[in-house]
Amino acid sequence: MRAVKERPLQIDPNMSVDDVMRKWPASIAVLIRHGMHCVGCHIAPFHSIAEACQDHRIDEGEFLKGLESAVARGPVSRLDAPPASPGDARR
């Protein structure tokens, strides 16, 4: 049996900033580090990563590398986790 190679994480630059922050909370630190204060911004649900990089004059390729590195190490949003059991104290 062949070992299955994991596909490297690839964040689509056309995803909205809001979707990226919700799916990968570790991405928020990268956004803030680049001066992109997107948390709570009313435009975040409509602004793609590519548009945000362009508007903030940030190199998209380098930014995506930073995002992917951070989210590969960080936790995935609880939205993607299975529902907690009734006795689970981590709610």
Q: What's the predicted TM-score (pTM) here?
A: 0.70
pLDDT(47) > 90: yes
Percent of the chain topping pLDDT 90: 58
State residue 69 phi and psi, 5-degree precision. -65, -45
Which comes out higher in pLDDT, residue 77 or 56?
Answer: 56
Report whether CATH 1.10.3910 matches the domain 17-77.
Answer: yes
CB under 8 Å to 52, separation ≥6 — which residues? 17, 36, 38, 58
DSSP 3-state assignment of 91?
Answer: coil
Dihedral over Cα of 27, 28, 34, 39: its sign: positive
pLDDT(68) > 80: yes
Helix ranges restricted to H, 10-82: 17-23, 27-33, 49-55, 60-73
